[in-house]
């Protein structure tokens, strides 16, 4: 059977230097797997096109006149992709080994698996969040009351986020969007990214649809990828990220579990925000979170 072609789709937003490092690692480590690379640029002012023409002329470049979000940009790349497998990869990632072939071989050999991802690492090679469980009202309370009191038990049994701890592939509810390889025929069946999500939870919602269609989703630890998470330093940027995150989480819940459940989650989260301001300090964070929860509108769900 002929090995599948992999279409690597990377969405850039003010990440030219990260993107250069990412592409160097892809070309350096990828062997024995046919691939194409599509870069979709949501920030056409940072010189990415010129950098690609000079250093990576084989890369296909698409520019967006405006930033419509992570999912919309990935969908634009997907529309022209030629591959049997679609690899959604963040620009702030660095492949440390032949991760593309490792993940492609796994999907090629396991037809019951619709998507897979690798082990994400920090730049010091310690484990980073690579997968997660879908949010619930119960997980909200577990995070608030148990995360610091019983960290080991919480991280192993209760946390929404998950870290790779062993060498064997294992099933998960969703794969972190920094590195997710999906079958094209699965995307044709369940659809691409939901455009209602601007940032955060778009990969979670896509994974929910893949699982609902009957496919497994698996982490393959042999594929090792460094994820250089960017961190905003300004309070305004941090506040905006909190707003996007909370809105997207509520949107995910209202779409997958119904509006009543989403409203219940928001009511509980608001109560915990008030409690946190009284008990935990760090009032700015919890007040930002409260404001984000209160401003969410259900018109998209």
What are the pLDDT digits (tens) for 10-51?
999 989 999 999 999 999 999 999 999 999 999 877 789 999
Q: How far is C-alpha 157 from the chain's CA centre?
A: 21
User: Which pLDDT tens digit goes with each residue over 166-198?
Assistant: 999 999 999 999 999 999 999 999 999 999 999
Nearest to 285 by CA among 230, 253, 241, 229: 241
**Mean pLDDT, residues 192-212:** 96
What integer pLDDT is reported at residue 230 of this predicted model?
56
Domain ranges of the chain: 6-135+161-227, 235-295
3-state secondary structure of 99: helix
HSE-CB at 43 with a 13 A cutoff on CA atoms is 13
Cβ atoms of 228 and 99 closer than 8 Å = no
3-state secondary structure of 233: coil
Q: How far is C-alpha 53 from the chain's CA centre?
A: 28
What lies within 8 Å, CB to CB, of 160 at 6+ separation is: 132, 133, 134, 135, 139, 143
Q: What is the CATH number of domain 6-135+161-227?
A: 3.90.550.10
Nearest to 37 by CA among 80, 97, 94, 101: 80
Which CA distances in Å does 15 have to 3, 7, 47, 74? 32, 20, 10, 16
Q: How far apart are CA 108 and CA 105, in angstroms?
A: 5
Select the more confidently predicted residue: 238 or 82.
Answer: 82
Length of the chain, please?
A: 301
In this predicted structure, the answer to whether residue 1 has a pLDDT above a threshold of 60 is no
Cβ atoms of 69 and 199 closer than 8 Å = yes
Q: How far apart are CA 131 and CA 150, in angstroms?
A: 21
Q: How far is C-alpha 251 from the chain's CA centre?
A: 16
Cβ atoms of 110 and 215 closer than 8 Å = no
**Mean pLDDT, residues 52-71:** 94
Q: Which two tokens stand for residue 50?
A: 């010129």
What integer pLDDT is reported at residue 301 of this predicted model?
47
Q: How far is C-alpha 299 from the chain's CA centre?
A: 24
What integer pLDDT is reported at residue 58 of this predicted model?
96
Q: How far apart are CA 133 and CA 204, in angstroms?
A: 9
Q: Give the 3-state DSSP-derived string for 141-166, with helices as H, strands as E and coil as C.
A: HHHHHHCCCCHHHHHHHHCCEEECCC
Strands 170-171 and 60-63: unpaired
What integer pLDDT is reported at residue 9 of this predicted model?
98
Q: pTM for the full model?
A: 0.92
Q: Which two tokens stand for residue 71?
A: 């999912």
User: Which pLDDT tens digit goes with each residue over 225-284?
Assistant: 999 975 433 455 677 888 999 999 999 999 999 999 999 999 999 999 988 888 866 678
Cα angle: 91, vertex 96, 100; to 5 degrees = 70
User: Which pLDDT tens digit goes with each residue over 132-172?
Assistant: 999 999 988 888 887 777 777 777 766 778 899 899 999 99
User: Which pLDDT tens digit goes with each residue over 91-133?
Assistant: 999 999 999 999 999 999 999 999 999 999 999 999 999 999 9
Q: How far apart are CA 200 and CA 271, in angstroms?
A: 23
What integer pLDDT is reported at residue 231 of this predicted model?
42
Structural element, H or E, at residue 82: none
For the chain, helix, strand, coil in percent to 5 are 45, 20, 35
């Amino acid at each position: 059977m002929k090995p599948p072609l992999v279409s690597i789709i990377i969405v850039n937003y003010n990440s030219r230097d990260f993107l250069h490092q990412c592409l160097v690692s892809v070309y350096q480590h990828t062997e024995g797997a046919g691939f194409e690379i599509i870069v979709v640029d949501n920030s056409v002012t940072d010189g990415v096109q010129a950098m690609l023409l000079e250093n990576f002329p084989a890369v296909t470049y698409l520019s967006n006149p405006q930033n419509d979000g992570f999912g919309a940009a990935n969908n634009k790349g997907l529309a022209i992709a030629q591959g049997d497998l679609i690899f959604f990869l963040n620009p702030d990632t660095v492949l440390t080994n032949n991760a593309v072939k490792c993940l492609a071989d796994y999907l090629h050999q396991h037809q019951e698996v619709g998507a897979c991802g690798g082990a994400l690492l920090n730049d010091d090679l310690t484990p980073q969040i690579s997968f997660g469980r879908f949010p619930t009202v119960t997980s909200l309370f577990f995070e608030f009351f148990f995360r610091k009191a019983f960290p080991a038990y919480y991280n192993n049994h209760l946390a929404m986020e998950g870290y790779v701890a062993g060498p064997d592939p294992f099933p998960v509810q969703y794969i972190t969007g920094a590195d997710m390889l999906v079958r094209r025929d699965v995307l044709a069946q369940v659809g691409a990214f939901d455009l209602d999500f601007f940032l955060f939870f778009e990969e979670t919602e896509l994974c929910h649809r893949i699982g609902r269609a009957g496919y497994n989703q698996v982490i393959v630890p042999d594929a090792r990828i460094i994820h250089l998470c960017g961190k905003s330093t300004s309070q305004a940027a941090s506040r905006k990220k909190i707003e996007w995150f909370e809105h997207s989480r509520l949107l995910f819940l209202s779409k997958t579990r119904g509006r009543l459940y989403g409203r219940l989650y928001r009511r509980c989260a608001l109560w915990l925000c008030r409690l946190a301001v009284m008990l935990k300090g760090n009032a700015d964070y919890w007040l930002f979170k409260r404001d984000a929860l209160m401003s969410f509108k259900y018109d998209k769900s």
